[in-house]
Amino acid sequence: MKNTMKKLLIILLTITLLVNCTDDLKDATDFTSVENPNLLEDSFLGQSNSSGVWLEGMDRQMSLFLNEILILSELGSDNYVNTQTFYNQFMDNLEIRIDDPDMRDTQNDLARLREMADFGLEEVGPQDPLYSEDTEAEYYFFKGMSNLFAGMYFSRIPEEPGAVPLTTEENYASAIASFTSAIERNNSQPEYYLARARAYYYLGRKVEAVADAQMVITMDSDFVRFARFDETDTTTQPAVNIFENALYERAIFDDLQPLPTLDFLDPKYSFLTPEEDAPVYYLKAEEAYFILAEANLSDGNALAAQGNMTDLLALIGTREVRTIDDTTEGRTQRAPGSRPNNSGVVVNGRPNLVLDRDTSVMVSSVSGTSLTQPEIDAMANDDAALELLYRTRQEVFIAEGIRFADMGVKLVMDLNEILLNENVSEGDAGTIAVIPPFVDAVKNDLDAITYDADAGIANTTIDLTAILVANKSSDQVLPFH
Amino acid sequence: MKVHYYKFLMFFFFVCSLSFAQEKNVSGTVTDDQGLPLPGVNVIVKNTSGGTQTDFDGNYSISVNRGAVISFSYVGFETKEVVVGDSDTINMKLSASASELEEVIITGQGSGIAKRKLSTTVDVLKADEIDKLPSNQIDQLLQSTTPSAQIRLSSGQPGTAAIIRTRGAISASTSATPIVIVDGVRVDNLNSNAQLGIVTGGASVSALADIPTESIERIEYIKGGAATTLYGADAANGVIQVITKKGTKGKSKIFYEARVGVIKATEDFLKYDRTAEAFFEPGLSLEHRVGINGGGDKVTYNFGGSIYADDSFNDINKQVRRSLSFGLNANVTDKLRYQASFSYVGTETNLDFNANSGNARFSDFEGGDLGDLDVISDTDFAPIRENYALIGALTSNESTINRFTNSNKFIYDVNDNLQVNATLGIDYRTVVQNQAVSNALQISRGAFPDGTSDRGALTRATRNNFIVTGDLNVTHKAALDNFSFVTILGGQFFRNTDRQNRIEGSGGVDGTSRIGFFPTQVARDFVLENANYGLYFLENIGIYDVAFLEFGGRLDENTSAGANTDPLFLPKVGITYNISDHDFYSESGMSNILSSIKLRANYGEATNFAQPFSEVKTFVPDVFLGGLAVRFDQPGNTDLVSERVKTTEFGLDLGFLNNRINFSSTRYDGKTEDALFVPNALPSSGLRAQVTNLGEISNSGWEFALNADVIKTSDHLLSVNFSYNTNDNSVEDSGGSPAFVVGGFNVIGSVIEQGQSLGYLRGTSATRAADGTFTFTPNDALGDTFAPNFGSFGINYQYKNFNLFMTGDYQFGGSYVDLNFLLRHLNGVDNTGIPDDLVGTTSPFNYVNFFVFDNDFVKIRNIGATYSFGDKLKPFSNVILGFTATNPFNWTSGPADPEITGSGIAAQNGFSSGGFAYGTESAPRIFLTSLKFQF
């Protein structure tokens, strides 16, 4: 027995010696080292072209933000109604709640876009040996876009984490400053001018808006800036086109249905390739023509406006039209016959707005319209011309979140901002939805229709375009009036 | 070779004939102290290969040589030896061994400690009880057999996760699943979908389903608090400790068992008969098991193997299971023992889609997507049924799991008072899941147009989980007049590496399972690696052998703690007072009635750590359209530490009438401090939510357990058990964070909010005011998902060779949302119980209280009977015929099965409140017949 003890002791001693003396064995016996596969700040900052991949990240973040805001803004407008339970349940009737998690996510993704821009400007860019002025300009552009969206969709929202919320006007002013910084670094990008034009437009600063819009057309009269989506993204918050899912990919669910007057424009987003989802055009030259036309109408210059609209129509004529197999959904597969579904239907007295979906359909993927040259030629200095302009604006920008901003409706800061930001209390401006009274009065009818399938007649209960134009003198809508 | 064989045979005959020459026949009866016959006693002729076992009446008969030594051994009794003399009859009385009287509990580390010295309670399930139960899933074995665990089967589909909870939910961000230790080695206990696992819309495959259940000697269920302090990180939810068979000295025993079962769906909770008509079809289960157990003075061994297959209760599910296990005890020297075990479990399952998955058939039917199935005509239903049968045939969610577990334990007795224990072991579990969403499936769903042939998708998810456990400790025992001391000092580590890969192929044709054939492929990977290590000590001081003072602690460190933190010290202290062990008491008349009194009190701390790497600030380079796109990910938290549960416990255990009736009661108060919360980030910061030590959660309650031998005669034994537990759970402090949803939906969610129970149900309720109109209350508290009152019960009756048993459990006081009903209502086909003047006036999300029901239930889990033929059916030493019915009876207060959670546990190791009865089938009824032959 003693011998065994001795042997054991010797073996133990040998092991101990080996463990202590050889580095190789230390590797084999160290049970505390773990491999962290994540990319940490120290290893990322300073890498060659880190500013470039960071910019790609912001591009992707723009797509993520659009995923949030498009659902809210398109449901909140008269463009789309949600007939199922998957997407936001509150916005159709403009029930804008501080406890709606979609409010939180939208605000968070918006802030994230700005924080990424700031981090790019302050940390990533300066430490990257390959940092260029063009990249810096893009950082300013995205920062400006964050401010621009803040102004378009919120009545008050902070520009820094936990800061005092800025008003819509202050956010637009910040946006203009950022776009100007971008232009200073790279003056060859028309979208910088168009983004600034939009900020001036909503502020009602006609002269500057017109100047920038004019600049856009001079530089590139058919440019588009778009957010791209990766169909293969399977991360927790994937940069797939969520609005495309709602319109097309979730086919049999029939989630979102357009106002019948817009049927021919749906689905703007559909299957593209197995790798890439349809893009969202968030800045396009069409907007410059709208700004010019509206400015001209507000100046009583219908003729010039006609010219702008003619140019616009020509531009739209050059835009891509896709042939889509939409037979799976038809128009409401789940509740057949509930909505207009054939080309024989007349909507609000106008024919040819509804497509037959039992065969392939042709739908504009950038801009589409029912506007005709005779309608343009008939434009005068009256509200009818303004209505025509706003109807076209709704059509061209469908599924792009503009109609909601044009309605003058503003979302609220989320409950979490209220509780965690000491500068915000419940009941403050910015925590209560802003809905112009003339919109509030019809908010339950925004998507309401009547449809007589046998007679082939559909009518929208209200004409929101007419309501907006009728209230053009309100400072909440039609900024040039 | 032939020559050797021949020589061997010659030798064998020689030996045999030699022994025949002098032998005689000896028989007799073996009884216990009370004269009751002991069946199955090993009767061995020492130093020979001869031996037998007693039959059911305790009788044996054996051929021996005069002068030989017969050894009588039986688990739990002192071994006795007798020299064969002239007499042909040797009757033997065996006394219960002291070690059995003092049931030893493996306290976490070190040598075991006698149960009577412990201030904590441990629920024990022994081999004979386990063998009786039909299930081979550990969660189902423990369900209704442990007095204070709540084990809720979230789906009837094979291999899916049960939600396990004992003393309430202690954490808002991690799973409530106890850690599982097999022979001292931690094994994978992932009881949720893996991070990159295949999602079927719920009903996730659980690692608990493939913990080896062959060859289990005993299962100890340790409920947390002071009992789990020494186990270190993650033990706050309790510990399930499995000790496998290492073989018994004596004659080798061989058994073969065949089990045949009929599996029938539980239709109690269906809304539509047509759901059953379309999907359910009784299935068959078949199982073959073999085992060998035996050994000599130096080495004992145990082998178990089984093969199992069933085709479940519906037209999709399938399960195959194969297992092998091996256990060994070797006395290497007088002082050194080596114990080893190895097990392999392999399973294959096919699951249906569930809940809100786009392909879920069950929820399409029960959720009213197809209209009111009761009113559809047969003509209209026929094509629906046919199409759904096609969808079923095209559904493919296959998982293949292989798990290897090995434990090596070295026990070295330096002297009578000093023992060194060393354990080293591994657990390796690999899961491969394949999900095919073929063109044909999509066409059958109407999602793709007819004729589509190039949009099929195939996903393969692989998870390899590797755990190494090492432990070294010294146990010292000392006695000093009226004091005894047990001292344990040791160190332990375990490390876990979880590697996951997922490849998704799309745009493919049907008919291939090779992802390389799909034009578009996306790969993802995921790694979690964590090491946890600690030093621990424990001192148990006996005072006059009636009272025991225990104190100790663990210094615990793990690699997922933040950079600014120190190792945690987790203390424990306990006191036990066995009043009835005083001489004056046992001599008094009282002891005949109240035979044992034990008082217990303890305090202890245990922890749960956050998911590895959640302390660091990270960036994510996403692959975006083929390029790289970097973004912020986790904000990071350098102060992150494990959440720590501080539990105080008081207990009183009473035994009446020579312990024929045992009553145990425990009061516990647990407080989770530095609770890990993942609150919403400040929206204007643009940050992601970050796990933070923010909250405080309390759990308090009572645990009562009663066991009684109602009838105890030489022929009859009737025993009953009953338990009742309460749990009061509350989020005491949410650290100022607003309420956040952790389960369910935004309009009717499971929410974490200060002042409410964890994961309580919240939504807008409608109540009728005095004037007849409805008042709507947003964010109304609609009930607790955890039933605050629960328990189990059982009856066991033994008449000679016949055994009858029943187990069941119950709960009351909680709530659940009948989500199928809500969906039916949204689909306009079911307004049951909803006022007519409310329907249609507002969104159903404004009166969700009408979809919330009490989750009370009483369920009989098992009814079974066995009959032992003894050695009447020669050549077998015993033949046992058994019959069990699983889940035969349910009584529930609401319309649905409150156990069901179709939405599953989606996040890896995440919190699950349950409480949403939705979109998946209840556990089926199984009628099983078994026949076991012993040699």
> Cβ atoms within 10 A of the Cβ of B234, count?
26
Instruction: Output the CATH code of domain B104-727+786-814+855-934.
Output: 2.40.170.20
pLDDT band at B370 (very low <50, low <70, confident <90, very high): confident
Q: Name every residue whose Cβ is closer than 8 Å to that of residue A372 and which is 6 or more positions away in sequence.
A: none
Summarised one tens digit per residue, pLDDT across range A313-360 is 999 999 999 999 888 777 876 777 889 999 999 999 999 999 998 889
- Inter-chain CB proximity A53 and B507 less than 8 Å: no
CA distance B502 to B119: 47
The answer to whether the CB of B612 falls within 8 A of the CB of B530 is yes
Of A114-118, A144-148, A212-216, B747-751, the poorest mean pLDDT is in B747-751
For the ranges A143-152, A375-384, B777-786, the lowest mean pLDDT is seen at B777-786
- Are residues B624 and A61, on separate chains, in Cβ contact within 8 Å? no
**Which chain A residues are within 8 Å of B628, Cβ to Cβ?**
53, 56
| Inter-chain residue contact A53 with B629, CB threshold 8 Å | yes
| Lowest pLDDT segment from A29-33, B575-579, B855-859 | A29-33
Residue type, A97: R
Share of chain A above pLDDT 70, in %: 94
Of the candidates A4, A327, A416, the beta carbon closest to that of B682 is on A416
Select from B703, B630, B641 the least CA-distant residue to B672.
B641
Please report the number of interchain residue pairs, chain A to chain B, with beta-carbon separation below 8 angstroms: 190
CA distance B279 to chain A (A): 22
With beta carbons under 8 A apart, name residues in chain A contacting B630.
39, 44, 50, 53-54, 56-57
Which amino acid, one-letter code, is at B483?
F
Taking the C-alpha atoms of residue A248 and residue A239, their distance in angstroms, rounded to an integer, is: 16
Read off the DSSP letter of residue B869.
-
* pLDDT tens per residue across span A163-197: 999 999 999 999 999 999 999 999 999 999 999 99
Query: Distance (Å) from the C-alpha of residue B405 to the closest C-alpha of chain A?
Result: 19
**Contact criterion met (CB below 8 Å) for B558 and B583:** no
Residues 301-360 of A with CB under 8 A from B: 325, 327-328, 333
Q: Which of residues 161-220 of A touch B (CB under 8 A)?
A: 161-163
- Cβ–Cβ below 8 Å for B617 and A333: no
- Pull the structure tokens for residue B458: 């195939």
Point out the residue among B522, B631, B682 whose CB comes nearest to the CB of A421.
Answer: B682
The verdict on A35 touching B (C-beta cutoff 8 Å) is yes
Q: Which residues of B touch A234 (CB under 8 A)?
A: 502, 504, 522, 524
Cβ–Cβ of A44/B504 closer than 8 Å?
no
**First CA to last CA distance, chain A:** 105
The minimal CB distance from B616 to the residues A36, A235, A413 is found for A36
> Chain A partners of B826 at a C-beta cutoff of 8 Å?
85
Grouping H, G, I as helix, E, B as strand and the rest as coil, residue B795 is: strand
Please tell me which residue, B11 or B224, carries the higher pLDDT value: B224
Instruction: Read off the pLDDT of residues B496-544 as tens digits, 9 standing for 90 and up.
Output: 999 999 999 999 999 999 999 999 888 889 999 999 999 999 999 999 8
Residue of B nearest to A419 (CA): B738
Give the least confident one: A295-309, B72-86, B287-301, B466-480: B72-86
DSSP B923: P
Asked if A254 and A333 touch (Cβ cutoff 8 Å), the reply is: yes
| C-alpha dihedral (A306, A311, A314, A320), degrees to nearest 10 | -120
Summarize pLDDT for B759-781 with one digit per residue, the tens: 899 999 999 999 999 999 988 99
Chain B residue whose CA is closest to A418 = B682
> What value does the mean pLDDT take over residues B450-462?
93
Please state, as a whole number, how many other Cβ atoms lie within 10 Å of the Cβ of residue B67: 9
CA separation, residue A329 to residues A21, A342, B399 (Å):
72, 13, 33
Which residues have C-beta within 8 Å of that of residue B829, sequence separation ≥ 6? B368, B371, B372
Query: What pLDDT is stored for residue B98 in this prediction?
Result: 53
Percent of chain A with pLDDT over 90: 80
The set of residues, in sequence order, having a beta carbon less than 8 Å from that of A200 and lying 6+ positions away, is A176, A206, A208, A209, A212
- Please report the domains of chain A, with CATH numbers, ordered by start residue: 47-245+260-470 (1.25.40.390)
The side-by-side arrangement of strands in the sheet containing A457-460 is A346-347, A457-460, A449-452
A177 burial level (CB within 10 Å; 0-12, 13-18, 19+): middle
Spatial contact of B608 and B645, defined as CB atoms under 8 Å apart: yes
CA-CA distance, B767 to B570, in Å (whole number)?
49
Taking the CA of residue B630 and the nearest CA in chain A, the distance in Å comes to 5
Q: Which amino acid is at B19?
A: S
Do strands A457-460 and A346-347 pair parallel, antiparallel, or not at all (unpaired)? parallel
Would the CB atoms of B358 and A161 count as touching at under 8 Å?
no
The minimal CB distance from A232 to the residues B493, B522, B686 is found for: B522
Question: Mind telling me how many Å the CA of A119 is from chain B's nearest CA?
Answer: 10
At residue B267, the 3 state secondary structure works out as coil
Q: Decide which of A11 and B651 is more confident.
A: B651
In this prediction the ipTM stands at 0.88
From the list B507, B519, B531, the residue facing A31 with the nearest CB is B531
Contact B683 A417 (CB under 8 A): yes
CA distances (Å), A298 to each of A380, A381, A393, A402, A478, in order? 11, 8, 16, 20, 10
pLDDT at residue B10 greater than cutoff 50? no
Q: Tell me which of B236 and B401 has the higher pLDDT.
A: B401
Q: Which of B468, B495, B628 is the closest to A53 by Cβ?
A: B628
- The β-bridge relationship of strands B92-94 and B23-32 is parallel
pLDDT of residue B6 exceeding 50: no
Residues B129-184: tens digit of each pLDDT: 888 888 878 888 888 788 888 888 888 888 777 888 888 888 888 888 899 999 99
The answer to whether A16 contacts chain B (CB < 8 Å) is no
Q: Which residue of B333, B531, B619 is in closest CB contact with A32?
A: B531
Identify the CA nearest to B703 among candidates B229, B230, B231, B221.
B221
Sequence spans of domains, chain B? 22-100, 104-727+786-814+855-934
pLDDT of B33 higher than 90: no
| Domain B22-100 is found in CATH 3.30.70.270 | no
List of chain A residues whose C-beta atoms are within 8 Å of the C-beta of residue B529: 34-36
Judge contact between B280 and B311, C-beta under 8 A.
no
| B746 to A101: CB separation less than 8 angstroms, yes or no | yes
A426 CB neighbours in chain B (<8 A) are: none
**Quick check: B92 pLDDT over 50?**
yes
Q: Is the pLDDT of residue B101 over 70?
A: no
- Which range is most confident: B141-155, B391-405, B560-574, B729-743? B391-405
Q: How many angstroms separate the CA atoms of B266 and B889, rounded?
A: 9
What percent of chain B clears pLDDT 70, i.e. is strictly above it?
95
Question: What's residue A280's pLDDT?
Answer: 97
What is the sign of the dihedral through the CA atoms of B264, B270, B273 and B275? negative
In this predicted structure, which of A26-35, A284-293, B364-373 has the lowest mean pLDDT?
Answer: A26-35
CB-CB neighbors (< 8 A) of A416 in chain B: 680-683, 738
CA dist., res. A141 & res. A287, Å (int):
18
* Model pLDDT, residue B8: 42
Q: How confident is the model at residue B796 (pLDDT cuts 50, 70, 90)?
A: very high
* The pLDDT value given to residue B826: 87
How many Å apart are CA A182 and CA A176, to the nearest integer?
Answer: 10
Phi-psi region of B867 (alpha: psi -120 to 50; beta: other; left: phi over 0): beta
* CA atoms within 13 Å, Cβ hemisphere of A201: 27
Inter-chain residue contact B684 with A157, CB threshold 8 Å = yes
Residue B93 has pLDDT above 50, yes or no: yes
Closest CA to B732 of B759, B755, B750: B755
A413 contacts in chain B (CB < 8 Å): 683-684
Which helix (H) or strand (E) segment is A402 a member of? helix A402-406
Banded pLDDT at A20 (limits 50, 70, 90): low
Equal CATH topology for B22-100 and B104-727+786-814+855-934: no
